[in-house]
C-alpha cells in the first residue's frame, strides 16, 4: 500500500504537539496548509500539438515570514506530496532559524521525455499561472527534483516580464549571472556533510575512515559524497541512482563515479565495483548511510536491516515514523531531513538576502555562514534530544514547531 506523505507529515506534528502541549486551534493550524493552488494549463509541444498539464503550489505557513520551497517536475507528483513537502519546508526553515515559512510546488510531467524547448514553455506557463501567489515578499520558489538553475532563470524572467522590471529575489537557485549565490549548487550536500561531522562524536564515530553509502547520486548525494571523501577523509563504499547501485568495500573516488555517470547516464557498471540494488544499498555494510533519493525508502520492513551507525537524510522524507522507532531502538543516530538537508534552503536564504541588498558575498563567506548555521542548528537539536531523551527527528520537530507556535501566538489571529 502506498503511503500518503501528508498523513505522515501530520502524524509527525501530532507527536510533537503531544510532547510540547499544543492543542486546539493552534494544532489545527500546524496540520493544515494556509493556501494551495491547483492549475491546469496547456503547453505547445514540439510537434505542434497541445497538452494540458496539472501543477500545484502550496504555501503551508507564513507565521515566521514569506514562504520558501522548491518546484519539482515528476510524473508521480501529487497534491498530498506537495502539501507534505511544504509542511517539511516550514519546519526545516524554523529549525535553522530562517525568517521563512514553508511552501512547495510541482508539475505532473516526465521531463526525461521532453525537449528543452518544451520544458521552457511548460515552465513559463506554470510560472505565469502561479505568479499571483509568488514574489520576494510572499513566496520564493527554488529548484527541486528535475528542476535546475535554468528552470529558475525562466521563472525569474517570466515573472520579471509581467512586472516590467527585473526581480531577481522572486526565485533562488538562479545562475550566478542573474543574481544567484556562490555555493548554492552544493549547499544541500555541504550542509549535510557539516551535520554528519558534528554528530559523529556523539555517535561514537570518526568520519575519517568511516564507510559511507549514498543512495541517490544526484545533486545532494554526489556533493555530500565528494565533501565527505575530499574534506573529511571518509571512504565511499556504495553509491546508487534510479537505475541501480555499485558497491566496493575498499571505497571509490566519487569524482570518478560522477565522470562515469556523465558519460553513461548511470553509476551502474562502474569498473571494479559490484552491482547492488537500491534496496541492498540501504542494508549494506557501512558506518554512515545517506539516503539522498526520494521519500519513504526506510520502512518497518527494512529498517532493522540497516547496518549503519548513522543515517543522514539528504533527501526529503526518506524514513517513515515506524522506521524511526526501529532505528532509535537499534541506537542508530538519525540526522533528520529538516536538519540534515537544510543547507540548500539556508543558502537560498543567503541568495535572497543578497538579491534584496544588491550586494554579493564570496564563496568563502557563503560557506562560513552556512557552516555556522548548520553547527548551531545541530547543537540546538542535540541538546533537545538529550534533554527529552527522544530521537533527533522528534527533537528537531520540537525545536522547529515551538518556534512556529511562538510566532502564531505572538501574532494572534486576524481579524
Look at strands 101-108 and 67-74 and give their pairing.
Answer: parallel
Closest among 119, 166, 173 to 142, alpha carbons compared: 173
If you search the block for the grid coordinates 558575498, which residue do you land on? Answer: 361
Buried b (16+ CB within 10 A) or exposed e, 83-100: bbbbbbbbbbbbbbbbeb
CA-to-CA distance for 381 and 303, rounded, in angstroms? 23
Answer yes or no: 104 catalytic: yes
Q: Crossing angle of helices 219-230/187-199, nearest 10°?
A: 50
CB 169 within 8 A of CB 352: yes
What are the phi and psi torsion angles at 19 (to 5°)? -70, -45
In a 3-state reduction of DSSP, which class is residue 261? Answer: helix
Q: Which of 68, 104, 174, 261 is catalytic?
A: 104
* CA–CA gap between residue 290 and residue 215 (Å, rounded): 6
Query: Which helix H or strand E contains 340, and what residues bound it?
Result: helix 337-340
Strand pairing partners for 59? 35, 103
* Catalytic residue IDs: 104
Amino acid at each position: 500500500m502506498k503511503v500518503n506523505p501528508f498523513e505522515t507529515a501530520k502524524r509527525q506534528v501530532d507527536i510533537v504537539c503531544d510532547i510540547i502541549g499544543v492543542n486546539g486551534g493552534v494544532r489545527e493550524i500546524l496540520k493544515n496548509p494556509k493556501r494551495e493552488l491547483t492549475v491546469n494549463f496547456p503547453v505547445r509541444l514540439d510537434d505542434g500539438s497541445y497538452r494540458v498539464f496539472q501543477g500545484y503550489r502550496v504555501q503551508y505557513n507564513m507565521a515566521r515570514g514569506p514562504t520558501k520551497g522548491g518546484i519539482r517536475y515528476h510524473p508521480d507528483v501529487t497534491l498530498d506530496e506537495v502539501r507534505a513537502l511544504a509542511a517539511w519546508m516550514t519546519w526545516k526553515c524554523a529549525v535553522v532559524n530562517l525568517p521563512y515559512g514553508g511552501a512547495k510546488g510541482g508539475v505532473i510531467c516526465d521531463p526525461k521525455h521532453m525537449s528543452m524547448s518544451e520544458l521552457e514553455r511548460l515552465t513559463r506557463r506554470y510560472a505565469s499561472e502561479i505568479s499571483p501567489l509568488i514574489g520576494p515578499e510572499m513566496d520564493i520558489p527554488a529548484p527541486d527534483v528535475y528542476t535546475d538553475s535554468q528552470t529558475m532563470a525562466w521563472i525569474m524572467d517570466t515573472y520579471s516580464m509581467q512586472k516590467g522590471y527585473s526581480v531577481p529575489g522572486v526565485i533562488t537557485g538562479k545562475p550566478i549571472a542573474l543574481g544567484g549565490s556562490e555555493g548554492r549548487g552544493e549547499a544541500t550536500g555541504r550542509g549535510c556533510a557539516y551535520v554528519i561531522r558534528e554528530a559523529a562524536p556523539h555517535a561514537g564515530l570518526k568520519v575519517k575512515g568511516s564507510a559511507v553509502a549514498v543512495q541517490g547520486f544526484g545533486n545532494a548525494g554526489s556533493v555530500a559524497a565528494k565533501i565527505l571523501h575530499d574534506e573529511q577523509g571518509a571512504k565511499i563504499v556504495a553509491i546508487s541512482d534510479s537505475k541501480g547501485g555499485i558497491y566496493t568495500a575498499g571505497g571509490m573516488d566519487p569524482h570518478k563515479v560522477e565522470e562515469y555517470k556523465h558519460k553513461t547516464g548511470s553509476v551502474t557498471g562502474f569498473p571494479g565495483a559490484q552491482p547492488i540494488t537500491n534496496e541492498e544499498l540501504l542494508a549494506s555494510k557501512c558506518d554512515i548511510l545517506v539516503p539522498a533519493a526520494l521519500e519513504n525508502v526506510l520502512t518497518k520492513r527494512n529498517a532493522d536491516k540497516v547496518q549503519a551507525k548513522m543515517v543522514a537524510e539528504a533527501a526529503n522524507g526518506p524514513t517513515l515514523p515506524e522506521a524511526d522507532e526501529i532505528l532509535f531502538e537499534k541506537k542508530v543516530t538519525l540526522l533528520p531531513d529538516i536538519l540534515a538537508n537544510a543547507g540548500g534552503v539556508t543558502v537560498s536564504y543567503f541568495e535572497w538576502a543578497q538579491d534584496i541588498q544588491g550586494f554579493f558575498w564570496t564563496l568563502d563567506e557563503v560557506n562560513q555562514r552556512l557552516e555556522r548555521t548548520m553547527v548551531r542548528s545541530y547543537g540546538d537539536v542535540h541538546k533537545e534530544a538529550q534533554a527529552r531523551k527522544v530521537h533527533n527527528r522528534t527533537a528537531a520537530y520540537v525545536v522547529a514547531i515551538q518556534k512556529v507556535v511562538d510566532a502564531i501566538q505572538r501574532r494572534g489571529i486576524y481579524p
